[in-house]
Amino acid sequence: MNFRKFLTLVAVAFTSVLLAQTTVPAIIDSSQVWTNAGSPYYINQNTLIDSNSSVVVLPGVEIIGSGSNTKLLIDGEFRVMGSVDSMVGISGLIITYNKESRGYNPNNGTGAYMQYADVVGTGVANRAIDLQNTDFKIVDSKVTNAYYTIYCYNQGYAKSKLEIDGCELQGVQAASSSGIHQGTVLTIYGDSTTTTIKYSEISYARYLQTAGKVTMENCNVHHLDQVQFYQKVDMDIRCNVFENLMQGVLLKVYGRDSSAVFNFVGNTLDSLRPSPRGMALFKMEYITSSYVIPVLNISQNNFLTADNKITLYGSNSNPSSSTSIDFTNNYWGGISSAALDSAITDYNDDILIFGTVDYSSMLSSPVLSCPTVNVPTDTSCQASYYIGVDTNNAFNMYIVNNSVNTTSNTTYTWSFGDGTYGTGSNPTHYYDTFGYYNLCLTIEDSLTGCYSVYCDTIGMDSLGNYYKREGFSITVLNESDLLSIENPVLVEDVRIYPNPSAGTLNLQAIANSSELMRVSLNSLMGQEVYMSEVRPIEGSYSRSLDLTQLSNGVYVLKIQIGSEIVFKRISIQR
């Protein structure tokens, strides 16, 4: 081809891309799907999605606000559906879900939901995602550069749910290592919010503030001033890493329910940054006797490098005695009892402090795996499935329904992730195109009061690549029915540990094939950061993966043998 003509073709193509843009009006009064064909979408003024309208954003779209205080106000539905290899970019906006907005619906995956979104806030003094009485779920996404990264509050007696899974949340990061980070990376006001935070990285801000019922597990929290748990109802804080905090972790008791439980188990607390005098890795505040100390389970944690490890703070109505606070069965970094005593501030230092730390039984070695904790739940059943491939039909995927504690009265609702739904324990579904789909199973039983939701990402073709043919189908099976299928070839019993990992990950699986196994790892931006191929001994596979060169964060592990693909999400935390 003539080189001059080639340059002309490139210039024309580039010009056409620049012209592909959409200016969003101030009022959105019709349902829309925002696609790459109209991207980028410019929001140059405060904009409202009205209560009868829905905006669904597809992979690869970029949404650009004019910055400062420009708001996208949502009374209807705003749903972001990015993919692992084509995230949705949002910048220069305050995304506000008003109390009239459509909250996340786990039965069909609609409403206030974001996946694979890269949200960049407008900096100091503003919010990135503002939730008002709204059920909201965000997975595999990044939210950065906002004073309030996610701000959640309820009005009156309203209740809401917040789910954060596999995300990276940052405040306003300082320009230099000696600077001060700004913002409250997660703010939850009120006691009527139920929050679940899993496999996420939270960093570079002043505070993380939570209230209400909180489950937080397998997260990496670093470079904050303080993590604050305002306890009034049950909280379950498990298997997280808290490090490089200036003022440590704060438990502030202000409840009146003596049956409420505070679980703080399997966590690692390390490396206080230079801080005001009196700060500690863990601080418990009990201000007045009108509040009630909950049932405490603070055990099997690692309290590592810090001059001050535990501080109790609060008034003592009877200075002649104190309340014993159980900190037994923790690891204290291998220091002696005398050294530990000097690293604790309690009644023994000041009789006006309400409690005495009991550390009489100390672990001799650090806790390296996540302990099992019995946590009370509202339901006895559990929705679940796993994935297998029909080797007799390269374009059919088996979804094996292995939900537990179901009855003949249990109902099943499937959200296939492409805007369609099915019912029953064994539906079939055909996808028009290849790609990633968020498949959600909801089970419910009115007799037992059971309710459970399980979601995962599926997507396939015969080579493990995407967008190659017109479509594929899925067939849902009960696990017990697998015995009636002749010679199914599945990647079974995939086990990954430890997860989160500090860099060395053990992978075990069972495969009824000696075909070449490809193991790869992708970042949330879709970049392949690790790949290995091995021909396993038929029936078993075991390997240690060296991921020490990877930075902290959440990754997608892909295991492929022939036509079969299994996806797992892992977290690197140090």
Are residues 518 and 455 located together in one domain of the fold?
A: no
Render 337-399 in DSSP notation, one character per residue.
Answer: HHHHHHTEESTTT-TTBSEEEE--SEESS---SPPP-----S-S-B--EEEEE-TTSTTEEEE
Torsion of CA 164, 167, 173, 177, to 10 degrees: 120
pLDDT digits (tens, 9 = 90+) for 279-288: 899 999 997 7
Q: Among 431, 455, 484, identify where a domain stops.
A: 484
Number of H helices, E strands in the chain: 2, 53
Are residues 480 and 495 located together in one domain of the fold?
A: no
- At 59 the pLDDT is 95
Domain annotation covers residue 509: yes
Which of 475 and 247 is assigned the larger pLDDT? 247
Of all helices (H) and strands (E), which one includes residue 10?
A: helix 3-19
State residue 149 phi and psi, 5-degree precision. Answer: -65, -55
User: Which residues span the domain enclosing 465?
Assistant: 385-484
- At 18 the pLDDT is 45
Domain annotation covers residue 80: no
Are residues 447 and 506 located together in one domain of the fold?
A: no
**Cα gap 92→47, rounded to integer Å:** 13
- At 395 the pLDDT is 64
Which of 219 and 429 is assigned the larger pLDDT? 219
Domain annotation covers residue 503: yes
**pLDDT class of 260 with cuts at 50, 70, 90:** confident
**pLDDT at 57 exceeding the cut of 90:** yes
Are residues 509 and 553 located together in one domain of the fold?
A: yes
Of all helices (H) and strands (E), which one includes residue 18?
A: helix 3-19
Q: Is 564 helix (H, G, I), strand (E, B) or coil?
A: strand
Which of 158 and 259 is assigned the larger pLDDT? 259
Instruction: State how many domains the chain has.
Output: 2
Q: Is the pTM of this model over 0.95?
A: no
- CATH code of residue 412: 2.60.40.10
pLDDT digits (tens, 9 = 90+) for 333-359: 999 999 999 999 999 999 999 999 999
Q: Among 484, 506, 534, identify where a domain stops.
A: 484
Which of 80 and 472 is assigned the larger pLDDT? 80
- CATH code of residue 525: 2.60.40.3080
Pairing label, strands 362-363, 330-331:
parallel
SS3 string of 52-102? Answer: CCEEEECCCCEEEECCCCCEEEECCEEEEECECCECEEEECCEEEECCCCC
**pLDDT at 248 exceeding the cut of 60:** yes
In one letter, which amino acid is 411? T
Quote the tokens at residue 109. 């995956």
Domain annotation covers residue 272: no
Domain annotation covers residue 267: no
Are residues 476 and 511 located together in one domain of the fold?
A: no
Domain annotation covers residue 512: yes
C-beta pairs of 317-321 under 8 Å, 24+ apart in sequence: 317/289, 317/354, 319/351, 319/352, 320/351
Q: Among 466, 484, 502, identify where a domain stops.
A: 484
Of all helices (H) and strands (E), which one includes residue 519?
A: strand 517-523
Domain annotation covers residue 68: no
Q: Determine the average pLDDT of the residues in 199-226.
A: 95
Quote the tokens at residue 59. 């992979």
Domain annotation covers residue 468: yes
pLDDT digits (tens, 9 = 90+) for 504-538: 888 887 776 667 788 888 775 567 788 888 776 66
